Structure 1
């Protein structure tokens, strides 16, 4: 099945003929509509989640005549029938594509598809582990694992959001694909307040990798890593900064953060966090 074309730096939305009813997702990826290049368009978040070095591509489709509701700038709401896909490739070869559909009952349905030749087949809901060429293990998440990260977030769609899309947002507003957004977004991309590029990069990384759980109303721990449109990142105490570095720097399954979806430390991400957070840790020492 040919993949739809990717438009770098551009986010566009698709039109589907009818809303998706609550039903089992198809057994093959080719049956989900992803190959409809005239309808499905690509997007790319500014602060992607680390996935053990896998390359990723993402697409979204909206039903005709609908728009994403941005009345809550940091927690967009999507119309029934929204579909999203995320493809994972390892060593230049697609391995898995995840598919998310918002049903008429307001619940998201998740499925993973494993690539076999020119198409991909739906994986078991319990997940599975693949052995790739060269003996590398690759884990397909269970439906429960998908829900653990997506269901508790401010919006279940993690990468298609104001701060993640940034410069692509004004076009969405002008095209009528984003409703109830702040008027300023028609000409100015939503952003957060960071004093320098180093803090911007580090706090963006934490937002993309940790903010889905660590926000006001999220996991019950005193650590806020999610970013808000137009605001400064929440300050981190020395102990909090040290804990972030400790958990990002291990893959002990009882300690690591993020807790799911990764078996290997992100060396570049950890170096970025060390440069930004280590001064906070050391300045508090006697």
Structure 2
């Protein structure tokens, strides 16, 4: 069922792609309603620096009735900028259309603006010979389309301490009353476990949740809950390789995250699953 849903999302996104603007400057990133945000647990992108923004339609709110799967109103727009060596390379845009469909586009920077990349994706060669992969529409949907919410970074556990302010600003509705004074979090026995589990949540939760990919690794976190037991050896093996049949995450990275792997190794040992 999940694969069918992803296929339908892919077809829907392809159908409306023609209506997406050709240049990043036409997407509204410089609008007054745009707000920057930063997830607590970043997705590894081969060391690229990232900035993120969100814009909601006037008066609209994000529905937090499902704490781990927020629902976004039509007209929501999100941007994520990738920079390498201090220079912006790509900005990805996600929008929710009036009919509820999500659209995805990547824009490649050329001078003071960025131009929409082809739906098939693109491989760039950066100064110094570094290769950089701009995702295809299918790559975008492979990660976003099957997740509990298509928006991965603007979520309860990812925003954590910023959530009470979102409530005060009227950007959330149907959220648990406790969030007004207590930021949503998950249960961890130590700071080391919190960091390691958070890393897996940021890098793996969009696929590895109940009802997600048919692989026995439940890595997604739930608000207010203790994480489930994890096969530490499997986590370290898959995070520590770039064999395309075994690596984790499976897309968007050519290099092992050495610091992230060390963080995981400090907690997820074979004798401490």
Q: TM-score range by the shorter chain?
A: over 0.9
Does residue 256 of structure 2 align to residue 265 of structure 1? Answer: yes
SS at match of 2:268: helix
SS at match of 1:269: helix
Q: Which runs of 5+ in 2 are unaligned?
A: 1-15
Across the aligned residues of Structure 1 and Structure 2, the Cα RMSD in angstroms comes to 1.1
Output aligned runs, 1:1-286, within 5 Å. Answer: 24-36=19-31, 38-236=32-230, 240-278=231-269, 281-282=270-271
**Inter-partner Cα distance in structure 1 for 2:216 and 2:48:** 31
**Inter-partner Cα distance in structure 2 for 1:171 and 1:35:** 22
| Higher-RCO chain (CA-CA 8 Å, sequence separation at least 6) | 2
Q: In the alignment, what sits opposite 2:13?
A: none
Deviations 1:114-146 (A, max 9, x none): 000000000000000011111111000000000
For the 8 Å contact 2:33–2:56, the answer to whether it is kept is no
**Inter-partner Cα distance in structure 2 for 1:58 and 1:190:** 21
How many pairs are equivalent? Answer: 257
Deviations 1:75-100 (A, max 9, x none): 00000000000000000000000000
Following TM superposition, by how much is the alpha carbon of 1:48 offset from its aligned partner in structure 2, in angstroms? 0.7
**Inter-partner Cα distance in structure 1 for 2:245 and 2:199:** 22
Following TM superposition, by how much is the alpha carbon of 1:262 offset from its aligned partner in structure 2, in angstroms? 0.4
**Inter-partner Cα distance in structure 2 for 1:250 and 1:205:** 16
Q: TM-score, normalised by structure 1?
A: 0.88
SS at match of 2:67: coil
For the 8 Å contact 2:152–2:206, the answer to whether it is kept is yes
For the 8 Å contact 2:232–2:272, the answer to whether it is kept is no
For the 8 Å contact 2:65–2:175, the answer to whether it is kept is yes
Q: TM-score, normalised by structure 2?
A: 0.92
**Inter-partner Cα distance in structure 1 for 2:172 and 2:35:** 15
Question: Which structure's residues are more often helix, by fraction?
Answer: 2
**Inter-partner Cα distance in structure 2 for 1:50 and 1:283:** 24
Following TM superposition, by how much is the alpha carbon of 1:39 offset from its aligned partner in structure 2, in angstroms? 2.2
SS at match of 2:255: coil
**Inter-partner Cα distance in structure 2 for 1:119 and 1:74:** 35
Following TM superposition, by how much is the alpha carbon of 1:222 offset from its aligned partner in structure 2, in angstroms? 2.1
**Inter-partner Cα distance in structure 1 for 2:114 and 2:272:** 51
Deviations 1:251-278 (A, max 9, x none): 0111111110000000000000111111
Following TM superposition, by how much is the alpha carbon of 1:228 offset from its aligned partner in structure 2, in angstroms? 0.4
SS at match of 2:175: coil
**Inter-partner Cα distance in structure 2 for 1:93 and 1:234:** 40
